Amino acid sequence: MKEKNKVSIFNKMNDTSLLLTITIVIFFLMYIGAVLFQGGGFSKPQMFFNILNANAALIITACGMSIVMISGGIDISVGGVVALVSMCCAVYLDKTDSPSLLVSVLIAIGIGVAYGLVQGFLVAVLDIQPFIVSLAGMFFARGMTTIVNTAPFNVENQAFIALKDTRVNVPFLGSYNKKGIYVPAYIEIGVIVALVLVILLFVVLRWTKLGRSFYAVGGNKQSALMMGINVRRTKFLSHLICSTLAGIGGYVYFLHVGSGSASHAMGMEMNAIASSIIGGTLLTGGVGNIIGTFFGVLSLSTIQNIVASAGLDEAWWTGITIAAMLCIFLLIQSVVMAQKKKAIKA
Amino acid sequence: MNETTLLKMRGIVKSFPGVRALQNVDFTLNKGEIHALMGENGAGKSTLIKVLTGVYPKDAGNIELEGKAVAIHSPQDAQNLGISTVYQEITLCPNLTVAENMFIGRGEGVLTNWKQINADADKLLQSLDIPAKATQQLSNCSIAVQQMVAIARAVDMDCKVLILDEPTSSLDEQEVEKLFGLMRDLKEMGVGIIFVTHFLDQVYEVCDKITVLRDGQLVGEYEIKDLPRVQLVAKMLGKEMDDLSDIKGETNEYKGKDAGEIVFEAKDLQSDAGIKPFDFFIKKGEVNGFTGLLGSGRSECVRAIFGADRILGGKVKVHGKDVKINKPIDAMRNGIAYLPEDRKIDGIIGDLSVRENIILALQVLTGFFKPFSKAEANAFADEFIEKLNIKTSSADKPIKALSGGNQQKVILARWLLMHPEYLILDEPTRGIDVGTKVAIQKLVLELASEGMSVTFISSETDEMLRTCSRLVVMRDRKVVGELTGDDLTQNKIMATIAGGE
C-alpha cells in the first residue's frame, strides 16, 4: 500500500518540482541545524538578512545562469561582466564631473545588454559553443576591467554612498543588543531588486510562451524546432537575459561593496552555476526553477557562513565544504531521480 | 468525397553532397484522401516530407497549397499553413507535460493559460481515447502514448495536410486500429493525409492512393485498387520480388563436425528489467528466436544474455564451461555479439564516420592502445560496405547522414567484424524497407550455414518463421513455450501466446 502511494506521488510531480522540493527541504534542514548546533549569530534573523545582503548580486546572476542552463547553454562570463560593470560605474561616479546615479545604472544595464547581444549572436546565429563564447567573453571582460582602471579604489560620491547605505527595515524581526537597545533587522536596496527579479523571472519561466520555449529548447532542441519554436531566437534571448541580469547583478554587487576592482567577483560564475545546480537545474538543460536557484544561493552561502562561524575561516575550508555539499546534493538528486525511474517502470 | 486538389508538389529537386536525394519528384494530394508514400529506405520519402515541412530547403521545384504557390522555409511556416507532421522518432520534449507538448509553439498571446490548456488537453485526450493525463510529464508516458500525444497535437492544429511518417512502428495492434479510426475521421473532415509506412497491410487497410518513389525518383501514382501488393513491392524494388517464403530452402544447414554442440546455455537467468528467470540454450549453426507480443520481455531476455541489464541471478555456460557475464564486454569476450533494438539509443554514434562505427566494437575488444592502422580500418570498412551493400558515398560519411536501413547494416557490420560465435539480432528489420529486410534474413541464414549461432527477434512473425528453426514464446515477461519443426506455424504461435493449447 505504501509503495503504491509513492508511485503516484512520483508520477504527479515533474522533474522540475521534484528537484525544487529536494532543494528547499535540504536548505531548511541545514538552516535549522545551524540554528540548533551553532546558535549564536544564526539564531538572530539578521543573520539570514545578512546572507541576503551579501548575496543579492549572486542571486540575480544565478537566475540568469539558470535560464541559460535551462535552455541547454552555459555562460561563464557573468563574473567578468560583474567586475567590468563595477569598475566602469566606479570610474564614472568618481572621475567625471557631476555624475548622476541614473546614468551609472544605465551604464551597468548597457554593458550587460551589449554583452548579451554579442554572445547571443555568436551562440544562436553562428552556432558556436556557448562555453567557448562565454570563455572568450570572460577573458575580455577581465581584460577590459584592468584597462578601464588598473588600481582598485573606493567610490566617494556622496549620492552613491547615501544609496549604498540605505537600509530598509524589516518589521518585527529586530533584536536587542547588549545594551538592551532595539536594533531593527534590515536589508539593502539590492535585495529588493533581487527579490523583484526572482518573482518576475519565476513568472516569465512559468507562464509565458518565451519561458516555456526555454524549457522546450533545453529539453530537446530538434523537437522544439519541429514543434514550431524559433530555436535560434530562444537561445539568443536566453543569453541576452542572462547577460543583462549580469549587468544588473553587477550594479547590485557594486552597490554592496562600493568600489571598483579588477579582482571583484572572481569565480562568481562558478558560484552561480553551483547555485543553479543545487537549486535543481540540470546542466543538460530542460529542467530547473528560479525559486530553486534562489534557495540554491541561500544554501551555498549558508554553508559558507556555517564554515566561517565555526572558526574555519580559511578559503580552502569553504572550498572543500562547498565541493562536499555539491556532491551530496547531486547524489541525492540522482538517487531520487533513479527511484522515480524505477517507480515508473514497475 | 471532395476531389479538389489540396497540395501539389511539382519538380522537386534536392541534393546532398554526393547524393541526389530527390530528382524532379511530383506529388499530388487531394482533400479527404489518405495517400501512401512508399519506397525503400533511401528512396527519398523522408526527404520529400522534410522539404514539404520546411526542415530542408529545396533546390528546385514549387509547392502549391489549395491552388496558391507557397514558400515554406521552416517548420513554423508549414505549421502556419496547416501542414502538421508526426514523425517516426518522437519529436516532443520529454521534460514538459503532456498538455504543454500539445500546445507549445502555437497560438497567440504571450502567456500560457495552464488551466485552459490542461482542460483542453484532457478533453482532446479523452475524445481520442489516449490513456494520459494532461499534467503528466511526457517522459513518464510509454512510447506508444507519446506517439499518440504527438498525433493529438497534430490533429488539434486544424491541419489541412497531416503527415504521418511511420507513426505505427512503435504501436501495438490495438493502438494502430485506434490510429486508423482517427485517420478515417479526419478524412471525413476533409483533411488530406500523407501516410508513410513499411507495413503493406496497413497501406491496403486505410489508403486511397499510393505514390511510389525509388532512388529519389518518382515511379508513379496509383489508385489502391489498381495496384496489387506484389506489384507494389516490385515497383518499390524496381525488380520482380524474390519469393520471400523460399529463402529458407535456398541455404544449407551447417554440417561441421561440431554441429549440434551447445554454444551457449543459461539457467534461471534473471535481470533487473523485470523478467522471470528463464532457461535458454543455442546450438552451433542454429537460428532461433524469441517471440511474443510487444513488451512481453523478448528484448529483456536477450539483453540479459548479453549482460546489458543488471544480472540478478542464474548460471551461464559457454561451450559447456561456466562463465560470468555481467557486462557487455564479458559477453563480447565470450564471442557473443548483440545488435540492439533501438539503434538510435544503443547502437550508432551519429557523428562518427561509417568506418569508425564499423570498427568500434573490434577496437574495444583489442583495446584502445592498439589502434588499427588507417589501411586496416579502410579494408574492414570497404569489405563490409560491399558485402552488405551499404549505400553511402564514402566510408568517411557520418553515419547519421545515412538512411535507417543503411545505418542498421553498418551496425550489423560492426558485430560481424568481430566474427562472433553467437550473434543476437534484436529487431534488425524494424523500420527498414522490404529489400533490406530480405537481405538481412538471407544473411542470417547464410551466417548460420557457416556455423554461427543466431538469435533473431522480430515483431513480424512471418519473418521469424522464415528464418528460425526454434522459437521461444513469451508472455507477460515469462517464457511460456518452445516451438520447433512442424509446430512452427502462425496459428501455433498465436495459440501459445494466447495461452490455450
Whole-number average pLDDT of chain B: 80
Q: What gap in Å lies between CA A24 and CA B222, rounded to an integer?
A: 63
Q: Nearest CA to A257 among A56, A96, A80, A42?
A: A56
For residue A271 the three cell numbers come to 558560484
Q: Which residue shows C-alpha cell 589501411?
A: B375
Higher pLDDT pick, A83 / B378: A83
Hey, do B5-240 and B243-335+420-501 end up sharing a CATH topology, with the first three levels equal? yes
Lowest pLDDT segment from A122-136, A180-194, A269-283, B425-439: B425-439
Share of chain A above pLDDT 90, in %: 34
SS3 of residue B309 by DSSP: coil
Q: Cα distance from B487 to chain A (closest Cα, Å)?
A: 34
Where does the pLDDT of residue B227 fall: very low under 50, low under 70, confident under 90, or very high at 90 and above?
Answer: confident
pLDDT on residue A113: 95
Q: Is the minimum CB–CB distance between A214 and chain B shorter than 8 Å?
A: no
Tell me: pLDDT of B20 over 90. Answer: no
Q: Best mutation site among A200, A223, A281 for testing chain B: the one with the most B CBs within 10 Å? A: A223
Kindly determine whether residue B153 and residue A227, on different chains, have CB atoms separated by under 8 Å: yes
* Closest alpha carbon to A21 in A346, A265, A289: A289
Q: Is residue B44 exposed (0-12), middle (13-18) or buried (19+ Cβ within 10 Å)?
A: buried
Residue A11 is nearest to which of B91, B100, B136, comparing CB atoms? B136
Highest mean pLDDT among A275-284, B125-134, B401-410 belongs to A275-284
Nearest by CB: B93 against A209, A210, A219: A219
The arithmetic mean of pLDDT across residues B157-164, rounded, is 82
How far apart (Å, rounded) are the C-alpha atoms in residues B262 and B281?
A: 7
- Say if residue A26 is exposed, middle or buried (CB neighbours under 10 Å; 0-12, 13-18, 19+): middle
- pLDDT of A126 reads 92
Q: Give CA angle at B78 (B74, B81), nearest 5°.
A: 140
What ipTM was estimated for this complex? 0.73
pLDDT of residue B41: 65
Q: How far apart are CA A27 and CA A257, in angstroms?
A: 26
- Nearest CB among A216, A222, A226 relative to B96 is that of A216
Chain A residues with CB under 8 Å of B112 CB are 206-209, 211-212
Grid coordinates in use for B304? 540479459
Amino acid identity for residue B333 in this structure? R
pLDDT at residue B286 greater than cutoff 50? yes
User: Which pLDDT score, from 0 to 100, does residue A342 have?
Assistant: 62
Q: Where are the domains of chain B?
A: 5-240, 243-335+420-501, 346-419
Average pLDDT of span B221-233: 78
- From the list A313, A157, A205, the residue with the least C-alpha distance to B114 is A205
Say whether A226 and B93 touch across the interface (CB within 8 A).
no
Rounded Cα distance, B329 and B308, in Å:
9
Cell 497531416 belongs to residue:
B162
Contact B102, B117 (CB under 8 A): yes
Q: Which residue has the higher pLDDT, B248 or B211?
A: B211
Q: Would you place residue A343 in the very low, low, confident or very high pLDDT band (cuts 50, 70, 90)?
A: low
Residue A115 — pLDDT band, cuts 50, 70, 90?
A: very high
Residue B58 has pLDDT above 70, yes or no: yes
A203 chain-B contacts, CB cut-off 8 A: none
Contact A173, B80 (CB under 8 A): no
From residue B369, alpha-carbon distances to B364, B365, B372, B377 in Å are 10, 11, 9, 15
CATH superfamily of the domain spanning B243-335+420-501: P-loop containing nucleotide triphosphate hydrolases (3.40.50.300)
Task: Note whether A236 and A115 are within 8 A (CB).
Answer: no
Average pLDDT over residues A131-140: 93
Considering the four listed CATH numbers 3.40.50.150, 3.40.1260.10, 3.40.50.300, 3.40.1410.10, the one that applies to the domain covering B5-240 is 3.40.50.300
Average pLDDT (B12-28) is 82
To the nearest whole number, what is the mean pLDDT of chain A? 84
Highest mean pLDDT among A249-253, A329-333, B40-44, B130-134: A249-253
Q: At what angle do helices A268-278 and A315-345 cross, to 10 degrees?
A: 30
> Which of the four pLDDT bands, split at 50, 70 and 90, describes residue B185?
confident
Q: How confident is the model at residue A7 (pLDDT cuts 50, 70, 90)?
A: very low
Please report where in the chains the cell 522515480 appears, as a residue.
A340
Shortest CB distance from A219 goes to which of B96, B112, B136? B96
What pLDDT shows up at residue B436? 79
Distance CA B273, CA B311 (A): 9
- Using a CB-CB cut-off of 8 Å, the residues of chain A touching B55 are 225-226
Do residues A265 and A251 touch, judged by C-beta distance below 8 A? no
Out of A171-185, A187-201, B137-151, B249-263, give the one with best mean pLDDT. A187-201
The one-letter amino acid code at B303 reads R
pLDDT of the residue at A3: 40
Name the band, by pLDDT with cuts 50, 70 and 90, for residue B238. Answer: low
Query: What is the average pLDDT across B373-389?
Result: 83
More confident residue, B403 or B266: B266
The pLDDT of residue A79 is: 92
Residues 6+ apart with CB under 8 A from A316: none
pLDDT for the residue A313: 64
| Distance from the A129 Cα atom to the nearest Cα atom in chain B, whole angstroms | 16
> How far is B299 from A1, CA to CA, in rounded Å?
30
A178 vs A60, more confident: A60
3 state DSSP class of B10: strand
pLDDT digits (tens, 9 = 90+) for B449-464: 888 899 988 877 778 8
Average pLDDT, integer, range B15-26: 80
C-alpha cell recorded at residue A5: 502511494
Is A228 in Cβ contact with B93 (below 8 Å)? no
Q: What is the CA radius of gyration of chain A?
A: 21
H/E run at residue A295: helix A290-309
Task: Please write the tens of the pLDDT for every residue from A216-248.
Answer: 898 888 888 877 788 899 999 999 999 999 999
The verdict on a CB contact (< 8 Å) between B92 and A344 is: no
Contact A143, A250 (CB under 8 A): no
Per-residue confidence (pLDDT) for residue A135, from 0 to 100? 94
- Region A181-191 average pLDDT: 83
pLDDT at residue B435 above 80? no
Contact B96 A215 (CB under 8 A): yes
Exposure string for A91-113, b = 16+ CB within 10 A, e = fewer: bbbbeeeebeeeebeebbbebbe
Smallest Cβ–Cβ distance between B93 and the set A210, A220, A346 belongs to: A220
